[in-house]
Amino acid sequence: MSVSVLMTSPLTRTQFVGAIGESGGVLPPTFRPKPLAVATKDGDAFAVAAGASSLDVLRAIPAEALLAAQGTQRFRADFIVDGQFLTEPPIDTYTAGRVARVPLLVGANSQEGSWTSILAGQPPTVANYRAGVAKLCTDPDALLALYPAKSDADVPVAATALASDAFLGASTWQWFDLHRRTRQPTYYYHFAHPRPAALPPLTNPDVPPIGAVHSAEIEYALGNLDTNPAYAWTADDRRISTVFQGYFAAFIKTGNPNAAGLPNWSPAPSAGGVIPRQIVDVQTRSEPFVEQARYVAATPLLERRVP
């Protein structure tokens, strides 16, 4: 997320020659930064609830007390259009074409969110799926048409796609789609390889993941598998890491992820034509990105959350 705002801030957008994006963008449907007036009002209310009459008093409050006050208000950190770092919402900066004109490598994982979050722990049935979507979005029928489940067996895959997009997938797509239209080289990936099961003393989730969970790509892309003894890494994991790390290294050096010995990765067209997406897995390959229309339709729906 931080990279996406660095690409839009007038203080930073001319200060680098390329960008790698993981873990979503500060863009709809995940984020719309607060106006300064709203953030100031929220901050004042938090200070009052914490018993602070001034900034000096607020700064002197122990961390435990601040966290307790945060919990009672359900207060969270937000991006703010403060007039300095962000002078407008990043979506407006992108729409106006004022972003960093640099190559971008960006993508998401195949299970950024779990189907269990949509179903709130209920069994994966069509009825429970429909009930979960009704609690998520003000137009559940439209959303179900985009993430359909005709049978109970379809529910985990459909609900995982929806949970992933509601969390980070759709904002990552928005970032990718807006940037490719700037006519800068834009490379889109989909990390699809699940990590091995965790080794003791760690425990594995009751519901095994059906894809690559949020943040799982980091150790592969940075070549850090052997620094994490929590998993029984396999030869496949190491091969994937070699390829993904190679893409990152080549992109950092040249603005292009392609290098000798790596599967070819084509940039997305700026408009029209087939959009390629690199599937990073045991058999890393380029496939046509067929979900473009779904994202166009789903992104505004995912902003209409049930209060």
Q: Average pLDDT in the 4-15 region? A: 96
Positive or negative torsion for Cα 282, 288, 294, 298: positive
Q: List Cβ<8 Å contacts ≥24 apart for 246-252.
A: 247/105, 247/189, 247/221, 247/278, 247/280, 248/20, 248/105, 248/221, 248/222, 251/18, 251/20, 251/103, 251/105, 251/187, 252/18, 252/20
pLDDT tier at 235, thresholds 50, 70, 90:
very high
Picking from 114, 117, 149, 139, the residue whose alpha carbon sits closest to that of residue 305 is: 139
What is the 3-state secondary structure of the chain? CHHHHHCCCCCCCCCCCCEEECCCCCCCCCCCCEEHHHHHHHHHHHHHHCCCCCHHHHHHCCHHHHHHHHHHHCCCCCCEECCCCCCCCHHHHHHHCCCCCCCEEEEEECECCCHHHHHCCCCCCHHHHHHHHHHHECCHHHHHHHCCCCCHHHHHHHHHHHHHHHHHHHHHHHHHHHHHCCCCCEEEEEECCCCCCECCCCCCCCCCCCCCECCCHHHHHCCCHHHCCCECCCHHHHHHHHHHHHHHHHHHHHCCCCCCCCCCCCCCCCCCCCCEEEEECCCCEEEECCCHHHHHHHHHHHHCECC
Instruction: Give the bridge partners for 104, in sequence order.
Output: 19, 186
Residue type, 227: T
CB 253 within 8 A of CB 233: no
Instruction: Summarize the confidence of residues 122-140 as an average pLDDT.
Output: 97
Q: Band of the pLDDT at 187, cuts 50, 70, 90?
A: very high
pLDDT bin (cut points 50, 70, 90) of residue 70 is: confident
Say what percent of the chain tops pLDDT 90: 86
User: What span, in angstroms and rounded, lies between the C-alpha atoms of 215 and 212?
Assistant: 8
pLDDT of 26 strictly over 90: yes
Whole-angstrom Cα distance, residue 210 to residue 223? 23
Q: What is the pLDDT of residue 1?
A: 83
196 in Cβ contact with 240 (< 8 Å): no
Q: If you average pLDDT over residues 126-149, what whole number do you get? A: 97
Please confirm whether the linkage preceding 205 is cis (ω < 30° from 0). Answer: no
pLDDT at 272: 85
